[in-house]
Amino acid sequence: MKILVASIVLSVSIACVGSAEDRPNIVVIMADDMGYADTGFTGATDIQTPHLDALAASGVVFTSGYVTHPYCGPSRAGLLTGRYQQRFGFETNPAYDPANPYMGLDVNEQLFPKRLQKVGYRTGAIGKWHLGAAAPFHPNNRGFNYFYGFLGGGHDYFTIDLRKPVKEGYTEALERNGKPAVFDGYLTTALSEDAVDFVESNKASPFFLYVAYNAPHAPLQAPDEAIAKYADIEDSKRRRYAAMVDVMDAGIGKILDALEEHGLRDNTLVFFLSDNGGPQSTKSQPSKWNGSSNGDFRGGKGNLYDGGVHVPFIASWPKRIAKGSVYEMPVISLDIAATAVSIASGSDQPPTDLEGVNLMGLLSNANQTSTQRFLYWRDGGVRWSILDSNRNKHILDNPGRTPELFHLSTDISEQNDRMNAEPELAEQLRREWLSWNHSNVAGRLEPYKNYHKERDQFFLDSIPEGAKSEGYPATPVPTFK
């Protein structure tokens, strides 16, 4: 049921959330490469997500929820710093290289869990990191008391095998607080169970928990019984993808049950979102699709149409947010950091260096429709987009293409280009984007595919000519696709 925005937040002063015993626990759950339309609360009919649907019904659904980037690493950098990642040059996925102390998120940037630590929160990260694999970037060195998971951008869901080429670390050992760790069975379930353990171990004090699933990111692997549950789905990719989402949903249910069991659910703020939209097939990459659906949105992972950056987005806090709420104005993942830090510190406003807004303030503002706000995107320094509060979107998704203008309020599929009809509006948005971009820096990371090729060539070139023999090296240099 849709509730007026003005009545979403219960009539409790935000400022009262200041004492240690009253401060909420905060949980952020992030899916990986999940399509917008792949939950029940966003319209899926062939995938069962009862726990996510219940979570959505228990709080507010942001129907215009966005992330700061159309793929994994940069999106996570924006989420965890609370700042646009273009401010510090994190504009591509970093290569997995534990020996490179520069290939990661700038150590001068403070992650918001570190801010929570400073005000007494215990902090934990479970699952995918993807912000640098070397020691300076390690979660335990960036504001997390506890870490269990993997440092790269993905992992095999069943296997650890150190005999295989390292590549992006998909079969490397997991780790727990800097020490090698394993998992039994299916990785998604193991991450969920570890999250439950974290809740049980930290129930006596306020905590922040970041659960970053790699599901349903490739490889498309799921337990046989979960795949069999979706035997009626004819397409094999969609069937395996559905099974992966199903197991993740079950794991989220376990986490919520643990909060309930220990009497924590009422005063725990839980967010759920995906890091970007679901990958879709293109002419140049016909096999890119991972089985996901972005519904009516155009495009998917890797581009700046809504299919790439518009994600399922929930906030649930039974003590403060009325259940069954809907918020239609644009919000962005940056707002999670701003909200968490504000609440943890007992303040209405986040620190000025954070670029999001306190969502509790937005939800309690009866006049929020009159507040102008812009969301910004940039990828590779050349592709860009901007969205205003009226959901007017100006976009240049690829160099060489003509910029486009869409009214998302009446054209969610971005099919009716208004560029020629409304050049003045397009110019206003372009100037606003240029003003924002003035404070950005160039990307400081080499794209991971290029990086691996250059590193492999460096090692080959380092072999003296006289030492090279026919057929060397014995193991072919891996090709990254």
CA angle 146, 152, 153 (to 5 degrees): 115
- Cis bond upstream, residue 399 (ω within 30): no
What residue has token string 């009716």? 416
Taking the C-alpha atoms of residue 136 and residue 311, their distance in angstroms, rounded to an integer, is 30
Q: What's the whole-number mean pLDDT along residues 118-144?
A: 98
Does the structure show a pLDDT above 70 at 15?
A: no
More confident: 343 or 370:
343
DSSP letter assigned to residue 265: G
Q: What's the whole-number mean pLDDT along residues 311-333?
A: 97
Taking the C-alpha atoms of residue 232 and residue 62, their distance in angstroms, rounded to an integer, is 31
Report DSSP letters for 119-151, one per residue.
TT-EEEEEEE--SBSSGGG-GGGTT-SEEEEES
With cut-offs at 50, 70 and 90, classify the pLDDT of residue 22. confident
Pairing verdict, β 325-327 and 65-66: unpaired
Does the structure show a pLDDT above 60 at 4?
A: no
Q: 197-214, pLDDT tens digit by residue?
A: 999 999 999 999 999 999
Q: 144-187, pLDDT tens digit by residue?
A: 999 999 999 999 999 999 999 999 999 999 999 999 999 999 99
Q: 386-421, pLDDT tens digit by residue?
A: 999 999 999 998 888 899 999 999 999 999 999 999
Report DSSP letters for 42-80, one per residue.
GT-SSS--HHHHHHHHTSEEETTEE-SSSSHHHHHHHHH
- What one-letter code names the amino acid at 56? A
pLDDT of residue 19: 54
pTM: 0.94
For residues 211 and 199, the answer to whether their CB atoms sit within 8 Å is no
Taking the C-alpha atoms of residue 323 and residue 153, their distance in angstroms, rounded to an integer, is 34
Q: What's the whole-number mean pLDDT along residues 20-36?
A: 92
With cut-offs at 50, 70 and 90, classify the pLDDT of residue 20. low
For residues 276 and 33, the answer to whether their CB atoms sit within 8 Å is yes
What residue has token string 């397409």? 235
Domains of the chain listed by start with CATH number: 23-364 (3.40.720.10), 374-437 (3.30.1120.10)
Selection from 14-18, 339-343, 474-478 with the highest mean pLDDT: 339-343
For residues 66 and 307, the answer to whether their CB atoms sit within 8 Å is no
| Weakest-pLDDT range from 32-36, 74-78, 254-258, 444-448 | 444-448
- What one-letter code names the amino acid at 270? V
Does the structure show a pLDDT above 80 at 476?
A: no
| Weakest-pLDDT range from 134-138, 432-436, 448-452, 477-481 | 477-481
SS3 375: strand
Q: In 170-322, at which residue ranges do the beta strands (DSSP E only) sit?
A: 174-176, 179-181, 207-212, 268-274, 313-316
As beta bridge partners, residue 297 has: none
Question: Contacts from 455-460 at CB under 8 Å and sequence distance 24+?
Answer: 455/95, 455/97
For the chain, what is the mean pLDDT?
Answer: 92
Helices 236-261 and 187-201 cross at an angle (nearest 10°) of 10
| Weakest-pLDDT range from 273-287, 333-347, 420-434 | 273-287
Q: What's the whole-number mean pLDDT along residues 311-322?
A: 97
Positions marked catalytic:
72, 130
DSSP letter assigned to residue 310: B
| Weakest-pLDDT range from 4-8, 100-104, 191-195, 465-469 | 4-8
Taking the C-alpha atoms of residue 299 and residue 121, their distance in angstroms, rounded to an integer, is 39
CA angle 38, 41, 46 (to 5 degrees): 45
Taking the C-alpha atoms of residue 146 and residue 54, their distance in angstroms, rounded to an integer, is 28
SS3 480: coil
Kindly list the distances between the CA atom of residue 140 and the CA atoms of 4, 47, 182, 305, 423, in Å, as whole numbers in the listed order: 42, 36, 18, 35, 49
DSSP letter assigned to residue 241: H
pLDDT of residue 464: 85
Q: What's the whole-number mean pLDDT along residues 361-380?
A: 80
Does the structure show a pLDDT above 70 at 366?
A: no
